[in-house]
Chain A
Amino acid sequence: MFTLVGASVDIPYKVYKLLGYLGPKLYFLRIPKTDKDEDASLKELREDFGEKRAKVEAALFQYLKWLEIRPDMEIDKGSSLPKVEWASYHSSSNENSNNVKDEEIAEKYIVRLAKLLARLRGVALTWETQGSQGSEYSYTQPIIEDPSRAATQLQNLARGHALLHGRNYITKEDIPIVVKTVLSTGVVERVSIFDKLLREEGTLSTSDIVAFLNVSANTAKRTMVELVVLGLVNTNESNEGTPYNEQKKIYLKDEFKWFTTNEFKKLREDFVPEDNHDEMNRGEQKND
């Protein structure tokens, strides 16, 4: 058993596509860029980064050391690591159980997030099937993971977060880190359309996507087909437009409507995953 954390600017599209075919999955966290005002930048310039880092490191180590002397932690014989029993593992017959366990609502959120993640990082191949105008698209059977393993992984992440906050049970407080991870792990363009769908109360037309992504109508239609194939949205032909300016609409499926609620909005804490492909490509060009 191990856990890993790495850091990179972004992932090349080709690699991301390949990750879809791998059994074990990676989970990402996209850090938003901070736009500092002049005063903040000036303050930063005058301070010593090394000193600040040392201060943080000292406080961090003090905290981590205290976490490790938690009274109910026991040294695991196999790994020599201090480990804690999870509250929900206690059986009801266990007299030592304090009857505290993972909040059911938090667990439900994790299940919903895992289902969304399966769609947001699924693999869907689409291609033009009608003439050079490409008004119709075909697709292969999409590869959408069973969300159960993702749910377990996200639950483990939430548990890690809970333990960091002194709890051996999950509450709603542990969901924001899971939300940010799910929104960062999905294909970034797909997540941005999903966000647009949430802002538009679950409905988007071809022209909305054309304007939002700054792409041609055919590219927008292809994107719409991809979302339909992945099972994130339904579609039906709109009566709007002429045969030469055909409009389609997509509708967020009912099972994902919870994501349009204020509850989800609160849990995401205004988090918007950052797309760093431009920075990554600039870096690659510099290295060339």
Chain B
Amino acid sequence: MVVFGGDNNRGGMGKYVEIDLSDEIHDLGFTKVSIHEKNIVILFQGKYPVVSTFRMDEIERTTKGLEKKMITNGIASESAQRLIYFLTTEFLGMLEDERKRREEAAALSSQNGSSREADKIEEEINKDKSEVGKISLEEWEKVRREKYVMLKNTVDSSLPSLWLPLEFTLSVKSIMNIKKITLPFAGIILGAPSTLKTVSLIMLRVWPQTFYTDSFTPKSIVFLPEFSMVMAMSAILAGMDNEATLKR
């Protein structure tokens, strides 16, 4: 029903928007409610149009001002109040839609950002590969050991309690690098708050071919009916213990 504009409308709508009125509101005599940039216009049978300031970020001030102007223009107080009640509900719905839209946009932007970083990592891997050239497994292993010691020492000196969740996460990730394994593996790290259980996951969010999300809702379960494992995981991460949700 409504289309929000960009982010620079400073509380206004930025576009022309017409609000669908309910039968009850029509029966009261209201014929049209529309928003033009920062103005809200009310048409009422036999009366002059009521024009009032509209600010989406100040609903209370908007509705109070509008109610006052409607009564001044001769619209019955009870009718004005019923329209205000109707519009407040509509505005709150619009705000909720806008919040969701922003969240989705932020998630998409974050995903695009991760994707750019993943591309960069892939480029770096290819560059390293060409620089290193052909080396034997033994030579590769020698460097791997050095890099492993460096990683372990860094974790031990900086975030020692990270090692266990990190080792688990990387082991699960490495399964993907083994030929002929086709069985999906789903692991969940359980830990009291502040035990660094999510740090290893967040670190890997930019790694190529990795999808990261911290937004779990019942919707994510509905969209993945074929993966009961994913469903169960989503349910746990969404903090749901509803039997129906899991059986869906």
Contacts and interface: CB of A to CB of B under 8 A. Distances in A.
A30 B177 CA distance: 25
A254 to B, nearest CB: 31
A159 interface: yes
Contact of B185 (A10, A27, A80): A27
Contacts of A15: 232, 235-236, 240-241, 246
B215 interface: no
Contact of A56 (B170, B203, B229): B203
A240 B182 CA distance: 54
A178 B195 CA distance: 20
Interface stretch (A64-72, A101-109, A211-219, A220-228): A64-72
Interface stretch (B44-52, B61-69, B73-81, B160-168): B160-168
Interface string A1-27: 111111111111011001100111111
Contacts of B189: 5-8, 28-29, 31
Interface stretch (B28-36, B99-107, B124-132): B124-132
A181 B144 contact: no
A65 B187 contact: no
Contacts of B186: 3-6, 24, 26-27
Contacts of A27: 185-188
B147 interface: yes
A157 B185 contact: yes
Contacts of A4: 172, 184-187, 229-230, 233
Interface string A78-107: 011111111001000000000000000000
A72 B199 CA distance: 31
Contact of A10 (B154, B170, B190): B190
Interface of B: 121, 124-125, 128-129, 132, 134-137, 140-141, 143-145, 147-148, 150-151, 154-155, 158-162, 164-193, 195-201, 203, 207, 209, 227-230, 232-233, 235-237, 239-241, 243, 246-247
Interface of A: 1-12, 14-15, 18-19, 22-34, 52-53, 55-73, 76, 79-86, 89, 149, 152-153, 156-157, 159-161, 163-166, 168, 177, 180-181, 184, 274, 276, 279, 283-284
